[in-house]
Structure 1
């Protein structure tokens, strides 16, 4: 009788071990390419390990300004490079709840550096829009549905340019398309 219980216990343990080996742990993808649609640009996200990535983005930033003095408005267009070291902290929790983690669908915290190049269009009345650099700490989330990608991030930062240094709030909402597998 004891042999039957021992055999049953070992069988259950073996089945659980085999089943656990079949399940892949929730992890970020090694390489992911995206095209951003709202602020036109390209993104490459490289996974270092199961939870950390380097997010690299090149896009066009757009600004709008109105002058009461001249009673005119102007648009500013400038290239932007954005580098982020991301840590996805809830992939396992999402996976255990049956939620998707594919293509880095999860919440993250990030250290970010933005470099805004000088404006490609100028308006003499509105002054010089030179280059600037912004360092920020971000919280955000990314969800990918098939190939469609949605991302939101925000956080405090410090902006440096040739005139001054100031506290800024960084926020972004992007819609994109994942390229590749």
Structure 2
């Protein structure tokens, strides 16, 4: 009986020490996007999961019988991210700081009505998109940050609904720390 208690204690101690040495996501970080002007806050929920919040501007293009139209629309994005390869990257000597790693996420986007659409070209309403995505994030020298995620989403709007590809690519800088 005494042997099994000692074994349980050693197993718990080794898992604690291992969890202390394994790479972990940042507790919190702010980023500025320059490609799609906006701000991002990523909050670490535990060692591998974050809540990613972004407010930004998106761009769109339509070409129909009425002509060409470029649109600019503000949007809010929320993602629950799970970083799955931090240990593997660290074992290979690759950077894991500033959440540099691969992730899977459940994303929700709220696109506000376009601020540049002229109703004679196209009526543009706000929309919500829900999508599972896969992506990666890398932070390089001088805190230069690249973030790409892709997925298939379902879009809901006042005038339409259906499946749509989801692509989010940002360039910017981590600020702070």
Aligned match for 2:170, one of 161, 167, 174: 174
Alpha-carbon distance, 1:92 to partner: 0.5
Q: Is residue 35 of structure 1 aligned with residue 32 of structure 2? A: yes
Q: How many pairs were matched up? A: 160
C-alpha distance in 1, partners of 2:158/2:63? 23
Gaps of at least 5 residues in structure 1 are: 1-16
RMSD over aligned CA atoms reads: 1.6
Runs of 4+ with deviation above 2 angstroms: none
Q: How does 1:104-123 map to 2 (within 5 A)?
A: 104-123=99-118
The residue aligned with 1:74 is 69
Alpha-carbon distance, 1:164 to partner: 2.0
C-alpha distance in 2, partners of 1:124/1:171? 26
Q: Bigger shift: 83-92 or 158-167?
A: 158-167
Q: Is residue 58 of structure 1 aligned with residue 55 of structure 2? A: yes
**Secondary structure at the residue paired with 1:122?**
coil
**Secondary structure at the residue paired with 2:52?**
strand
Equivalent residues of 2:25, 2:47 under 8 A apart: yes
Alpha-carbon distance, 1:126 to partner: 1.4
The residue aligned with 1:4 is none
The residue aligned with 2:4 is none
C-alpha distance in 1, partners of 2:83/2:156? 28
The residue aligned with 2:80 is 85
The residue aligned with 1:94 is 89
Equivalent residues of 2:83, 2:103 under 8 A apart: yes
> Could you give the per-residue CA deviations for residues 79-129 of structure 1, whole angstroms, max 9, x where no partner exists?
100000000000011101111100000000000000000111231321210
C-alpha distance in 2, partners of 1:176/1:82? 16
Gaps of at least 5 residues in structure 2 are: 1-13
- With the length of structure 2 as denominator, give the TM-score of the two structures: 0.86
The residue aligned with 1:47 is 44
The residue aligned with 1:162 is 158
